[in-house]
Structures are given as structure tokens and as C-alpha cells.
């Protein structure tokens, strides 16, 4: 028992200091803490987004490349729908990454409200009735910056998907309307 008391007496003050420091940093973060948290979260979100966009683009290219000219149109459309779904799910996942620490640290105590706030900031709608505490007010604009970056990146992937699909449709249309070459024409050229 004496050893346990000695350890408790040595560790308790340290834990109390850490708890007080963490709590005071969360309640009143200061400019550098607020910017640091936002920048770290922003980098994590954009990194996750890059991994997801790379994987989605790669899978689209691999599957699309296997389609023959005569592949049914519904299969091409199905791949497009799946790709768009994965792009949207990526954004929902990224907004969860933002909402989790906001809720966990009690900046917005209800998870649904925290997620709602993040979705409104991320999409730059900004009409939220839910807000961060005054000391964390830079969080909303930083979330909006991440949304601008990631939506732009997603837009470029979507342009790639639509362009490839359009090329395929154009190529198929040309094959169907192209006149057949005559044997006489081939012999003279």
C-alpha cells in the first residue's frame, strides 16, 4: 500500500496539470492552437482525399479499359454511377473526420449538430444555426477551405470520368454511322 500511495502522490499532480492544460487549451485555444488544429485537420483531410481520388480514378480506369466497343451501355452507366457514389461517399467520410474531434472535445456537444455544422461549412453554405464557440470561430472558414480544395479535386476526377465516357459514346456513334467500304474502293487505293 505504501508504494501505491507514493506512486499516486507522484502521478496525481502531473495528471491534474495535464488535465488543466488540455481543458484550458480547448476552452480558450489561442490563435496558434486554433490555426494549428485547423491546419493539421486540413492536411489530413486533403491527404485522405488524395488517396481516395487516386483509388477511385484507378479503379474506374482499370474497369473502363476492359470494356469492349460492344459492351452494353448499362454497364458503362453502372460504372459511372458507382464512381459518382464513391466520390460522394468520400466527402461524407471526410466531413466525419472533421466532425469527430469537434464533437469529441465538446466544441459542439451533440454529434449530429457537429456534423451539421461541418457539412454547412464544408459546402460553404454557412447558414448554420449551430456554431463553434467564439474562441474557435476560425474553424468554420478552415473547414470551408478544405471543402473548396476537395470539391475542386473531385470535379476534376468527374470531368475525367465524363470525358472518357463521352469519348466511348462518340467512338461507338461513329462506328454505327460510318459507311461500309466497298471492295472496289479498297482495290483501287
Confidence of residue 177 (pLDDT cuts 50, 70, 90): low
φ/ψ bin of 178: left (φ > 0), alpha (ψ from -120 to 50), beta (otherwise): beta
Q: What is the pLDDT of residue 129?
A: 85
Answer whether residue 21 is part of any domain: no
6 part of a folded domain: no
Look at residue 50 and tell me if it is in a domain: yes
* Gap between the Cα atoms of 127 and 20, Å rounded: 34
**What is the number of domains present in the chain?**
1
CB contact set of 152 (below 8 Å; sequence gap of 6+): none
User: Which residue range is the domain that position 113 belongs to?
Assistant: 31-175
Q: Which cell is 23 given?
A: 481543458
Summarised one tens digit per residue, pLDDT across range 130-147 is 999 988 989 999 999 999
For residue 27, pLDDT over 80 is answered with no
Is 189 a member of any domain? no
Residue 70 lies in a domain: yes
Task: Residue 69: name the closest of 168, 162, 167, 160 by CA.
Answer: 168
Rounded (5°) CA angle 81-82-84 = 65
Burial of residue 114 (number of CB atoms within 10 Å: 0-12, 13-18, 19+)? buried
pLDDT of residue 9: 73
DSSP structural state of residue 134:
G
Least confident segment among 15-24, 72-81, 105-114, 173-182: 15-24
110 φ/ψ angles, rounded to the nearest 5 degrees:
-100, 130
In a domain, 22, yes or no: no
Query: Does residue 81 form part of some domain?
Result: yes
Domain contains 134: yes
Amino acid at each position: 500500500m505504501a508504494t501505491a500511495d507514493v506512486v499516486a502522490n507522484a502521478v496525481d499532480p502531473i495528471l491534474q496539470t495535464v488535465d488543466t492544460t488540455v481543458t484550458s487549451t480547448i476552452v480558450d485555444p489561442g490563435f496558434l492552437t486554433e490555426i494549428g488544429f485547423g491546419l493539421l485537420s486540413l492536411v489530413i483531410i486533403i491527404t485522405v482525399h488524395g488517396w481516395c481520388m487516386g483509388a477511385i480514378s484507378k479503379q474506374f480506369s482499370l474497369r473502363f479499359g476492359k470494356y469492349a466497343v460492344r459492351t452494353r451501355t448499362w454497364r458503362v452507366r453502372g460504372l459511372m454511377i458507382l464512381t459518382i457514389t464513391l466520390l460522394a461517399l468520400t466527402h461524407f467520410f471526410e466531413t466525419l473526420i472533421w466532425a469527430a474531434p469537434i464533437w469529441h472535445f465538446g466544441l459542439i456537444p451533440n454529434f449530429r449538430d457537429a456534423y451539421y455544422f461541418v457539412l454547412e461549412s464544408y459546402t460553404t453554405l454557412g447558414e448554420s444555426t449551430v456554431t463553434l464557440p467564439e474562441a474557435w470561430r476560425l474553424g468554420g472558414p478552415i473547414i470551408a477551405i478544405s471543402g473548396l480544395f476537395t470539391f475542386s479535386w473531385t470535379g476534376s476526377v468527374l470531368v475525367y470520368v465524363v470525358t472518357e465516357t463521352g469519348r466511348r459514346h462518340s467512338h461507338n456513334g461513329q462506328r454505327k454511322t460510318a459507311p461500309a467500304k466497298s471492295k472496289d474502293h479498297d482495290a483501287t487505293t
